[in-house]
Amino acid sequence: PVSGVVSNVIRHGSKLAVDIYSTEKVITTFAKDHEWQLIEEGDLVRIQGVGLDGLKEGNVFSVSELPETENELIEAYKKIDSKKAVNPLAYYEVQIMTPEELSNSPYGHNINTTIIIDEALGAVAVNENWVSRSDKKSARGMIIDKSGKAVTVKLTTPFNEDTRVVVTEGLASGQV
């Protein structure tokens, strides 16, 4: 037994095929080749759209390893995508689950999603030229201590954002 909404019935001679939309709604979006490599299952997703009460959160449920074949969903996505992919075949399906039911949103409704691939709460970002990198996750920087002297400190730097290094440990706001 399957719970859902019948969307299409197809007859193949004496056999029937039925397309059923699950009652458990899953958000489907697509990532281009360079984006796909950064997305992982469990990544936080922020969701908004008409019919939703404010900003919702969910998580990446699955990331396809195979490029999406042409179908109605990918065709619609390509039409509304503001940035075209360099390789038009390199779109990968990403499924998103929400802890809350999306009952106010109909099937096939356009919902905006933002997948958070790097997040650092309470972090500061500094110009990458202001630190000396020892590896991708750590660096050394200079601060002025309470006596007015320059002191070298070890920094934890989980990722870069454009030309800035995100620092989660070793530097606080106001020390720059």
98 vs 115, more confident? 115
Length of the chain: 176
CB burial of residue 139 (10 Å; 0-12, 13-18, 19+): buried
Distance CA 98, CA 176 (A): 39
Please tell me whether the overall predicted TM-score, pTM, comes out greater than 0.75 for this model. Answer: no
Tens-digit pLDDT profile for residues 22-76:
777 788 888 888 888 889 999 999 988 877 778 888 999 999 988 887 777 777 7
Q: What is the mean pLDDT of residues 71-82?
A: 76
pLDDT at position 41 is 93
Looking at residue 106, its pLDDT comes to: 67
Q: Residue 91 forms beta bridges with which residues? A: 32
Q: Is the per-residue pLDDT at 151 higher than 70?
A: yes
Per-residue model confidence (pLDDT) at position 39: 92
Residue tagged 């007859």 (tokens): 11
* Of residues 123, 129, 128, 135, the one with CA closest to residue 175: 123
Q: Is 143 exposed, middle or buried (0-12, 13-18, 19+ CB in 10 A)?
A: middle
